[in-house]
Amino acid sequence: MFPGVHAQTTPDKPAVVLAGSGRTITYRELDENSARLARALHDLGLRPGDVLAMLSDNAPECFEIYWAALRSGLYITAVNSHLTAAEVAYIIDDSDAKAVIASSGVADLARGVRTLAPRVEHWLAFGGPVAGYDPYTEALAGAGERLTEQPRGIDMLYSSGTTGRPKGIKPPLPTFAVDQPGDPLTAVVGKLFSLGPDDVYLSPAPIYHAAPLRWCGVIHAYGGTVVLLEKFTATDALEAIERFGATITQMVPTMFVRMLQLPEHTRAGYDVSSLRLVVHAAAPCPPEVKRAVIAWWGPIVAEYYGSTEGNGLSVITTQEWEAKPGSVGRSMLGPVHICDDEGAELPSGEVGTVYFERETLPFAYHKDPEKTATAQHPDHPTWTAVGDLGYVDADGYLFLTDRKSFVIISGGVNIYPQEIENLLALHPAIFDVAVIGVPDPEMGQQVKAVVQLRPEVAATEELATEIIDHVRDRIAHYKAPKSVDFVDRLPRTATGKLVKRELEQRYVPAR
């Protein structure tokens, strides 16, 4: 289904609510405005297969833009609004976007981008005037009749760029219309989690990110209400769950950690009993963190593993995870294969590259056939990998160990930073932590922990030793950090992903 269906049955129901201001778009408004925008874009010359870029903070209009693209066969490229103007312009230019729609909430950034992307033909802005942009409201007001043909569009998103320049991920256009079934994500997620019109979905992450954008779209397909946080804070998220009676929320592990760092009496002051499902993804969750969330919210925590590439999906419930701690579940979209560097499939329990098997190639990297080929298995082109390492146990449950690019090789032995980061995530002195490999003249690399302390904690040599011993007491000594650096802040994206590339570059001169 899509919002037009629900506009007929529940036209005045909130489709999107902005948590801070309470500003609301109903299903009638979502349907009418997305239809008007689809017509306006058509009249500007955009046709199925063309790209529409969106640059915005978290705003309800994002979903008018999203559904306008999806109901007119366009690719929608939501761009990270925390990038610089030059970085945004690179993505817009690389995507071949014919039109850009921006929010006045990011007006300074939007103005800078306008001068750096000369190939864009049309610029629109909503929420207020932006120099060089035509008013979004005028485009809607001047739109003609609805389009009679509504081929399904799809997102074309860019990787976060945590290990290099962002890559455009371009799936094939769907072969069905917007009001027809056929989207596998909508079908799998809806059935698995029993989504329906009574659900209220709290989305605390930036909407340009793949997971919140797609999940909000799925919620609209089933007629639920999306509540958008303007920006995540631990207390704002808890307050929104209570105030709006959220039944579902999706978070990244960093958000869990921030909430668990609140004083216990503060956490206890919020009523979260409306929640029936808490989903997390995007990064591995330290087992201690997950156990603490389950103890707090109950056995309603589900985890999935996927990627912006959309090449595969695994899911695990609380009950399964308690029996298989650390697993990200079993595959929901085709078989999973673990292979060595030559492509040979490995037996259960052995660590290798994670491939998902699909009937057809699920994506291509835009303008980069070499990267696309690198993601494909050498002998099975519809098996694809995105650089994650892991293993599958005898029961078919997938366990991730780390990103291939983050593995530390010390004295010829592989060390997985995530294992060490998990042990330190809830250390009472630590606010945030990253583990990286730094050059070592004898061993090739050695393990370093880079730590952001809690505000009331002082950085001392004694504390550094205590952190190292904390790890040595729990896992093999060779995996423990050889040194600890204290920093004011770790580089993370707005979605909570650690930008290890930026962190590692601080140590490149030591090579």
With 60 as the cut, is the pLDDT of residue 434 above it? yes
pLDDT tens, position by position, 307-361: 889 899 999 999 999 999 999 999 998 899 999 999 999 999 999 999 999 999 9
What pTM was estimated for this model as a whole? 0.84
| CATH number, domain 3-220, options 2.60.40.10, 3.30.930.10, 3.40.50.12780, 2.60.120.200 | 3.40.50.12780
Distance of CA 200 to the CA centre of its chain: 19
Strand partners, 440: 444
State the pLDDT at residue 164.
Answer: 57
pLDDT tens, position by position, 228-274: 999 999 999 999 999 999 999 999 888 998 999 999 999 999 999 99
pLDDT tens, position by position, 440-488: 877 778 999 999 999 999 999 999 999 999 999 998 898 999 999 999 9
CA distances from 362 to 173, 181, 381, 385 (A): 10, 18, 10, 11
Out of 11-25, 86-100, 154-168, 246-260, which region has the weakest mean confidence (pLDDT)?
A: 154-168
Confidence of residue 161 (pLDDT cuts 50, 70, 90): low
State the pLDDT at residue 510.
Answer: 41
State the pLDDT at residue 160.
Answer: 66
Which tokens is 460 given? Answer: 């001392």
Confidence of residue 511 (pLDDT cuts 50, 70, 90): very low
Whole-number Å distance between alpha carbons of 358 and 344: 18
User: 196 and 222 in contact (C-beta within 8 Å)?
Assistant: yes
Taking residues 107-121, report their average pLDDT: 97
With 50 as the cut, is the pLDDT of residue 505 above it? yes
Helix 27-43 crosses helix 61-70 at what angle (to 10 degrees)? 60
With 80 as the cut, is the pLDDT of residue 283 above it? no
pLDDT tens, position by position, 38-57: 999 999 999 999 999 999 99
CATH number of 413-510: 3.30.300.30
Q: Strand, helix or coil at 151?
A: strand
Confidence of residue 22 (pLDDT cuts 50, 70, 90): very high
Q: Exposure pattern of 438-464 as b/e (b: 16+ CB <10 Å)? A: bebeebebbbbbbbbbeeeeeeeeebb
Phi (first) and psi of residue 80, to 5 degrees: -60, 115
Which tokens is 241 given? Answer: 């769950």
With 80 as the cut, is the pLDDT of residue 26 above it? yes
Largest CA distance in the chain: 71
Which tokens is 89 given? Answer: 């312009």
pLDDT tens, position by position, 190-232: 999 999 999 999 999 999 989 999 999 999 999 999 999 999 9
Confidence of residue 509 (pLDDT cuts 50, 70, 90): low
Confidence of residue 508 (pLDDT cuts 50, 70, 90): low
Out of 164-173, 409-418, 477-486, which region has the weakest mean confidence (pLDDT)?
A: 409-418
Whole-number Å distance between alpha carbons of 316 and 322: 10
In the chain, the percentage of residues whose pLDDT exceeds 70 is 98
- Based on its alpha-carbon atoms, the radius of gyration of the chain, rounded to whole angstroms, reads 23
Residues 6+ apart with CB under 8 A from 91: 53, 77, 79, 80, 83, 158, 166, 168
In the chain, where the domains are located:
3-220, 413-510
